[in-house]
Amino acid sequence: MGVGKTNIEYRSKWKRNILLMNPRFLSEEESGALDSFLAYLEDLVDKPKAEYNPETILKIFPSVRLARGVEHVLLRDYYSFVSLPLEALPRADSERLLARGIDEPYKLRLVVTEKVNKTRDGFVTEEEREETLKEVASELGVNLASIEKVLWLDGEDEKILTRLTESPPRSKELLPILNFHILESILKCSTLVTLWIEGQFSGTVAKKLYWVCKKSGILCEFSREENTLRIELIGPEEVVGKKEKYGRLIAPVFFNLAAFLRESHREFRFEIELFLFSRERAFRGTEEILENILIPEESARLFRDFISEYDSNVEKRFDAEFKSERGDRKGWSLLVEPEIVVMGPTIFIPDFALSRNGETVFLEIVGFWTESYKAKKLAKLAQLKKKGMKNLILLVNNEFRKEFTEKITGFPVIYYSKRFPMHSVMETLETHFSTFEMRKTQVLSRIDVIIRELLASLRDSKTIVVNDLHKAFDCYHQGELKEIMATDSIKTRLAQEGLVFIESVGILLKSVLNDLKITICQTISQTGAPLSKIDALIRNEDLKFEDPTMLLRNMGFQVVWKALDAPRVILPEQPDPK
């Protein structure tokens, strides 16, 4: 592909010790010259190459390199000089030759040579030549004219100009395609291509770019310059070999990325460092250059056809489990395509990003890696920690428990095997990346939803125990729950719904509490009742409190310990029994 590096038309000038080249691309001004050359080619279709004059195009185009570049592309992709097949002969002659196994001109030449060697001692005069060919024609049962034609059917001058497209190409359609080939030839001479992209850049695209570069045998480096992402495409350093040897690999990656950026309406600029005619040069441009260049479909589908947003089935499974309805995600949302993270020269492409109220925490899955890749990942984690990264959680395959610990990596680590411990993920998010005040604010903003969920639970059970309240109100210990339940807005809402909170006990309906108090009062005699009897009564009422003492005291009863093994419950305001 391309126009060939010797056919690149350009001008050069020095700027700050850099030899900048300004390549010449085709414009509307050249459409007339292109039409003239196309008309010339159309007149020669089905005619032998001997009638083609390679000097004609030089009279049409003012630039020799530009002319030869256009000729190179047109006679490769749109027209071609081809040898006529044997089927071009009279049908009877072609069938007889094919029946003898002669399907190529060189095979007929072998037959003639063998005939000359046997009958003429390997040499014939001009007069003997025609007689020999007549004998060969007679033996093969074909006309002499067909023998003469087939012998040199594959000769260069005998090749016939054929159009490779159904209809003649038009200059308007060819101009942007020819410009593509010009830029492609420049890229094939490149040693380094740098792109500067404005704004954010999708982590998924960055992952894909990394993967393609690695598969293509070139390197891809990222860095951040304020609000601009810098991407370098470069071949591995080699001691020997041509400096531009990796240009042919860089070119397709550049075109695919440029096509994606153009379709995404992204502003970008680029610089191509190349080695051309034994000189180091540079070509600089912006996305505006691509307006006059048509990137073919096969050179633009890399990012457009990118289907899977997951690097592995492990990531796909985690996404599905996180987004399932099992368990409370506490307002955290999962993003599968997070932005890439650039910290100086260090680039990090996390598997996921978890966000809530403007706070972002990245999550990286350490799955089934090779030993060398694990070593690189640990080095990358050390770089990130050194650069000050804090908002990262590692979800590590249990097989790597020894290599990946919080002490070694410097980041919170959660281990998984067949299933992902989502409760541990949520707990890590809350304990490492969320203060109590933040969680309290979040709870108060959702109080109506929480109260509705509590009421729904009380339809099936008379009580909501403390452990369940910790989950409902996003608390991690009794002190946090006590502080939240003392908030005026929550106390008011509980009272409005007829709910009672009892510390260390839980929440129950006020009506249930009143009925229970009446039942206990009817059970207790003047001297009280054994605590074990009252405990059994509470359990019979389907109340799930493990320790009824706090509940009884809240209702005004006294629990008197006259002996370690015989505590008794006394009615409110009743004197201690003697």
| pLDDT tens for each residue of 291-323 | 899 988 887 776 655 544 555 678 888 988 898
d(Cα 140, Cα 92) in Å, to the nearest integer? 11
* Backbone angle region of 170, left / alpha / beta, with phi > 0 → left and psi within -120 to 50 → alpha: beta
Q: Domain 313-433 belongs to what topology?
A: Trna Endonuclease; Chain: A, domain 1 (3.40.1350)
Query: Is the pLDDT score of 411 beyond 70?
Result: yes
d(Cα 114, Cα 117) in Å, to the nearest integer? 5
Q: For position 515, what pLDDT does the model report?
A: 86
| pLDDT tens for each residue of 68-112 | 999 999 999 999 998 878 877 888 988 899 999 998 888 999 999
Q: For position 242, what pLDDT does the model report?
A: 59
Q: Are strands 392-397 and 567-570 parallel, antiparallel or unpaired?
A: unpaired
d(Cα 572, Cα 221) in Å, to the nearest integer? 77
pLDDT category at 413 given cuts 50, 70, 90 is: very high
Q: For position 372, what pLDDT does the model report?
A: 65
Domain map of the chain by residue range? 5-83+161-172, 86-154, 189-304, 313-433, 511-570
Query: Is the pLDDT score of 39 beyond 90?
Result: yes
Q: Which amino acid is at 411?
A: F
- Listed in sequence order, the residues at least 6 apart from 199 whose beta carbon sits closer than 8 Å to its beta carbon are 227, 229, 266, 267
- Listed in sequence order, the residues at least 6 apart from 116 whose beta carbon sits closer than 8 Å to its beta carbon are 122, 123, 124, 132
Q: Which two tokens stand for residue 110?
A: 């072998």
Exposed e or buried b per residue across 537-576, where buried means at least 16 C-beta atoms within 10 angstroms of its C-beta: bbeeeebebeebbbbbebbebbbbeeeeeebbbbbeeeee
Average pLDDT over residues 233-247: 66
Q: For position 558, what pLDDT does the model report?
A: 80
Query: Is the pLDDT score of 119 beyond 80?
Result: yes
pLDDT category at 496 given cuts 50, 70, 90 is: very high
Q: Domain 189-304 belongs to what topology?
A: Alpha-Beta Plaits (3.30.70)
**Which secondary-structure segment (H or E) carries 405?**
none
| Lowest mean pLDDT across 136-140, 148-152, 184-188, 412-416 | 148-152
d(Cα 93, Cα 105) in Å, to the nearest integer? 14
Q: How far is CA 330 from CA 56, 354, 429, 476, in A?
A: 76, 11, 10, 13
d(Cα 346, Cα 53) in Å, to the nearest integer? 58
Query: Is the pLDDT score of 479 beyond 90?
Result: no
Query: Is the pLDDT score of 239 beyond 60?
Result: no
Model confidence pTM above 0.75: no
d(Cα 578, Cα 576) in Å, to the nearest integer? 6
Mean pLDDT of the chain: 85
d(Cα 155, Cα 83) in Å, to the nearest integer? 8
Q: How far is CA 471 from CA 285, 475, 519, in A?
A: 57, 6, 31
List the beta bridge partners of residue 21.
Answer: 12
